[in-house]
Structure 1
Amino acid sequence: MTWILGWTVSLLAFIKAQLVTLLLHVLSAGPIPRHVAFEMDGNRRFARLTGRRAVEGHSDGFIHSSGYILDPASVILEICMHLDIRCVTVYAFAIENFNRPPDEVGALMKLAEERLIEIAQNGALLSQYGVRLNVLGHRELLPMHVQVAIDKAERMTCQNNRAILNVCAPYASRHEITLAVQSVVQQALDKDNFDSSLITEQTIEENLMTSLGGSPPLDIFIRTSGVKRLSGFLQWQCCENTQIHMVNTYWPDFGLWDFVPILLDYQRKVWARSSS
């Protein structure tokens, strides 16, 4: 009986995998977004619901580079790569998160270092799909050991050119926009004759962290956990053409069947615009 049960489980897993492959193939026949962003919210509430510490919820939702641990970030990233989505941006740590309890912040920094070391040592998932890692944010606020791990992971993937994974940490839109404006103003001041016409929406956008990292315009913004606000994430990038989705699922539970309706809605709206 044991071998029959094992054979049945394997068969069901095979059928499920084939159905997922077929679904992704069907989706890829329609318009595909170039850039999708995820505000990975709800980790702490998910941990409390399951009777665990907050950092364990963060660990459930974090990216594992091996590809063997099916955390939601790796699953969603792999789905995006199968669909040839050019860029994925995730909000891993806000600047204001440094105000959380020191033990939680310390645990998050340790977790970030561990995952970055994984990527630097093997990075199977990123290497498999040719993904370049960009860590965007106010790096100087991070402990030096985390900064070193970031540098190693970015160097390991810098030659990858098929897709981009932006990990925003520690990040805030106001900080990003401020740096972009300062850079554009300095460029104008560096001219022999100050030229204020160089300070435009276009030049500011060209100096945002995402633009400097080669990211295309943002097509879809997704926030999990049911909270309906941007909370300082990609506020400039969420332009009139960005489709914004606030879903009730906590990030550690977010998966393919949460993502598919969003992609179908994107395709429907693209087709509607093209036919109008």
Structure 2
Amino acid sequence: MDGNRRYARGKGKMVQEGHGEGYVALRRILEICLRLNIHCVSVYAFAIDNFKRSPDEVDALMHLAENKLLELCAHGNLLQEYGVKLNVIGKIQMFPESVQTAVRKAEDLTKRNNRSILNICMPYSSRDEMTSAVEGCIREALAKDNDYFTNDPVESITEDTINSHLMSVQRGSPPVDILIRTSGVKRLSDFMLWQCCENAQLHFSKTYWPDFGLFDFVPIILEWQRSVWFRRHDVLFRS
């Protein structure tokens, strides 16, 4: 969800206001996704490296995260209306205690929802997620009985075992179909690199995130549907 700060500066607003309007855009796009029966949405809300930003901006983001997590999950709100389970993916222990409490409360409030999933990735980096997955695989392999292995325990670690230890996969997320980055920047910035390495379509929109809406989003969905249709018919033709 890129472009909040540039959007704010272009409008002569405080950076914090840009992040606040970015949250409004998240609600808007999330509701569009839910109405289109998109069952899993993952958003990159706060990178681990974002802690290096100015203290004022980090503090504002922490307050925004705490308040909006609880607002998202309030009784009768969007997640409850559509039966969405909220997962916060990342190194939660890096947050202030008040934000960690909000994370736990928000996840607990939605844990019984089973129609859709919203992953909010924060504080997150894909390399950290992959590193943690490999560490988990190694710990699991070494903890098993030695008789289970014919050779070195580490030989039991495969792409499938690493994939199964990814935080997003462990929280029930399917493979990524579409990755969108707004604001015209054409790089992934350490977001879901493993998940996007095979069949995910990448789309780079010039629109700043707070302005991103239906007319930006629908053409991306239609292009994905068209490509899936062509792939299926190509398989049928070959068979």
TM-score band by shorter chain is: over 0.9
1:198 is displaced (CA, Å) by 2.0
Measured in 1, the distance between the counterparts of 2:73 and 2:9 equals 32
Measured in 2, the distance between the counterparts of 1:185 and 1:76 equals 38
Q: Number of aligned pairs?
A: 229
Counterpart of 1:197 (choices 128, 143, 155) is 155
1:47 is displaced (CA, Å) by 0.1
For structure 1, the 5+ residue unaligned runs are 1-39, 63-70
Measured in 2, the distance between the counterparts of 1:261 and 1:121 equals 32
Contact between 2:181 and 2:204, CA under 8 Å: does it hold in 1? yes
Counterpart of 2:100 in structure 1 is 147
Counterpart of 1:255 in structure 2 is 213
Aligned pairs (5 A) from 1:131-146: 131-146=84-99
Aligned pairs (5 A) from 1:155-166: 155-166=108-119
Measured in 2, the distance between the counterparts of 1:240 and 1:184 equals 22
Counterpart of 1:45 in structure 2 is 6
Counterpart of 1:119 in structure 2 is 72
Secondary structure at the counterpart of residue 228 of structure 1: coil
Q: What do the CA deviations read for 1:137-183 (whole angstroms, capped 9, x no partner)?
A: 01111000000001001000000000000000110011100100000
TM-score (norm 2): 0.94
Question: Is 1:231 the counterpart of 2:189 in the alignment?
Answer: yes
Measured in 1, the distance between the counterparts of 2:26 and 2:161 equals 32
For structure 2, the 5+ residue unaligned runs are 147-151, 235-239
Q: Tell me the percent identity.
A: 58
1:192 is displaced (CA, Å) by 1.5
Secondary structure at the counterpart of residue 12 of structure 2: coil
Query: What amino acid is aligned across from residue 79 of structure 2 in structure 1?
Result: L
Q: Which runs of 4+ in 1 moved over 3 A?
A: none
Counterpart of 1:108 in structure 2 is 61
Measured in 1, the distance between the counterparts of 2:25 and 2:73 equals 20
Counterpart of 1:273 in structure 2 is 231
Secondary structure at the counterpart of residue 72 of structure 2: helix
**Is the alpha carbon distance of 1:81 and 1:121 closer, same or farther for their aligned partners in structure 2, counting shifts above 3 Å?**
closer
Measured in 2, the distance between the counterparts of 1:173 and 1:216 equals 16
Secondary structure at the counterpart of residue 244 of structure 1: strand
Question: Is 1:87 the counterpart of 2:40 in the alignment?
Answer: yes
Counterpart of 1:207 in structure 2 is 165
1:117 is displaced (CA, Å) by 2.3
1:120 is displaced (CA, Å) by 4.3
TM-score (norm 1): 0.81
